[in-house]
Amino acid sequence: MTWTLAARTAKMNPSALREILKLTERPGIISLAGGLPSPKTFPIPAFADACARVLRDDGPAALQYAASEGYGPLREAVAALLPWAVDPAQVLITTGSQQGLDLAAKVLIDPGSRVLVETPTYLGALQAFTPMEPQPVAVASDDEGVLPDDLAAKAAPGARFVYLLPNFQNPTGRTLSEARRVAVLAAAARTGLPILEDNPYGELWFDQPPPLPLAARNPEGAIYLGSFSKILAPGLRLGFLVAPKAVYPKLLQAKQAVDLHTPSFTQRVAYEVIKGDFLERHVPTIRALYKQQRDAMLAALTHKMAGLDVRWNVPAGGMFLWLRMPEGIDTARLLPQAVERGVAFVPGAPFYSGAADARTMRLSFVTASVSEIDRAVAALAGVVREALAAV
């Protein structure tokens, strides 16, 4: 038989990250690489109760085909959770927020369409966009996010959208500041540039909530993606999008063609768990745990990296911290040595759609425990010292 692959598959390559994560699954490795929420935060008894209730009270509907838009009460709950007036009719439940990226790509990207992304940006978004063959354009960014002037310059002519992850970004952990949000929105409005706003981590703030989402300030100009992965559990694959009327119907048709609908059962279980004030009680415990682990990582870095020209940021929430190594260190080449010493991280290069900064790396502070973080950072510092000695 002659299997002829579609031309787009030439651009679809195994995720560098995925290959790295395989390395880190070896026994004995402390992984600061993956973006896996701490299993300690999974509300297992609440899920068990919810499963039993859903199957007892609503089993036939929970196991039947259902509307592509999603389970009505869950759409209403999502709308009620968001910090602006959202019509539940504009909410679409997705099979993880990753699916929202796939649907947006299908509906908004033609081959060669310019799509603006942060420097660096979420690798999974690049992967979701790739099959639609966009031309990704990296917008210059600093510690507060994208630079509005560069955004405006690259928007014209005809960029389809800018993909932004404003809160505790993956991979950098940085947050788009309030002033920067105002300037970004002004630049987008001036150039007619739609925004694809991804907010999987926004609830994981440590000291104060992040500024209001961009979509809240211009609901007609943005598609907003959210997720239950970081506040309930990722294994449910439950996310959602909120889209303006200009694009919702096509996103819905794309959704229907992809998987008909997100599982009826998991949608009902999640609704049963979150209805009432569950999240108000549960999410603060995740924040407290992750803050403690971030602090442990910061303390370990300060202590173990002393005297090295290693720089890092102080994320105000989320799961990740971004490091920059001294001159002469390529983190991709450092990784095998680190794995040898029992610690894994993600090199920064794959997160850049344009020129990469090979000295960067992403560390997750949520999966490993405080004592593991301490040991892992010590091992990493040792590897850096060795590498510097060899430069």
292 binds its own copies (CB under 8 A): no
Among 205, 240, 265, 345, binds its own copies (CB under 8 A): 265
Q: How far is the CB of 185 from its own copies (least distance, A)?
A: 10
383 binds its own copies (CB under 8 A): no
70 binds its own copies (CB under 8 A): no
Of 57-65, 277-285, 332-340, 358-366, which segment contacts its own copies by CB under 8 A? 57-65
72 binds its own copies (CB under 8 A): no
Contact set for its own copies, span 11-30 (CB under 8 A):
12-15, 18
The residue among 53 and 385 lying less far from its own copies, judged by its C-beta, is 53
Q: HSE of 170 in the Cβ direction (CA atoms, 13 Å)?
A: 25
The residue among 177 and 253 lying less far from its own copies, judged by its C-beta, is 253
Distance of CA 40 to the CA centre of its chain: 20
> Which two tokens mark 138?
């990296």
Among 72, 88, 131, 326, binds its own copies (CB under 8 A): 131
Residue 312, burial from CB neighbour count under 10 angstroms (0-12, 13-18, 19+): middle
261 binds its own copies (CB under 8 A): yes
389 binds its own copies (CB under 8 A): no
Amino acid identity, residue 103? Answer: L
Q: How far is the CB of 320 from its own copies (least distance, A)?
A: 15
Helix or strand (DSSP H, E) at 288 = helix 278-304
190 binds its own copies (CB under 8 A): no
Q: Sketch the per residue contact string, 317 through 336, with its own copies: x for CB under 8 A, - otherwise.
A: --------------------
∠ CA(152), CA(156), CA(157), 5° rounding?
170
Phi and psi at residue 259, to the nearest 5°: -150, 20
Among 259, 330, 340, 386, binds its own copies (CB under 8 A): 259
Beta strands in 52-134 (DSSP E): 91-94, 114-117
Exposure string of 136-166, with b = 16+ CB inside 10 Å and e = fewer, is bbbbebeebbbbbebbbebbeeebbbbbbbb
Q: Which residues contact 102 (CB under 8 A, 6 or more apart)?
A: 128, 258
Q: Sketch the per residue contact string, 134 through 163, with its own copies: x for CB under 8 A, - otherwise.
A: ------------------------x-x---
120 binds its own copies (CB under 8 A): no
